[in-house]
């Protein structure tokens, strides 16, 4: 079966990355430092997506669930992904700057 990707029509997403690759656990660890409160990354099970979408303000969570399924199953993808722009500032410095502005 040939996979056919759906393309967006109106916006262009440009991935940004720092000087080093990061994982969800790296991000959680970096969030621990500035606020001084424990933060950990957790996988969100499919069974909870609907309730989570509703808590985030979606009246009908089904389109969001279908989109996540599409990415996870590979039938929704970016045919020509944009080249990531690489920055020079690391994750911890970015978070420190953002959190001091709150």
pLDDT, tens only, 33-69: 765 667 777 888 999 999 999 999 999 999 999 988 9
Please, what is the average pLDDT of the chain?
80
Integer angstrom CA distances of residue 4 from 30, 53, 78: 37, 26, 10
Q: What is the mean pLDDT of residues 90-94?
A: 87
pLDDT at residue number 8? 54
End-to-end CA distance of the chain, in Å?
A: 49
3-state secondary structure of 86: strand
Q: How confident is the model at residue 10 (pLDDT cuts 50, 70, 90)?
A: low
What's the pLDDT score for residue 81?
A: 65
Annotated domain spans of the chain: 16-75+84-100
């Amino acid at each position: 079966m040939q996979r056919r990707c759906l393309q967006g029509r109106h916006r262009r997403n440009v991935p940004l990355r720092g000087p080093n690759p990061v994982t969800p656990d790296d991000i959680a660890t970096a969030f621990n430092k500035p606020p001084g409160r424990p933060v950990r990354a957790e996988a969100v099970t499919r069974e909870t997506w609907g309730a989570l979408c509703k808590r985030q303000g979606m009246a009908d969570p089904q389109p969001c669930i279908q989109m996540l399924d599409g990415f996870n199953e590979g039938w929704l993808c970016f045919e020509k992904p944009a080249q990531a722009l690489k920055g020079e500032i690391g994750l911890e410095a970015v978070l420190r700057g953002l959190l001091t502005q709150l």
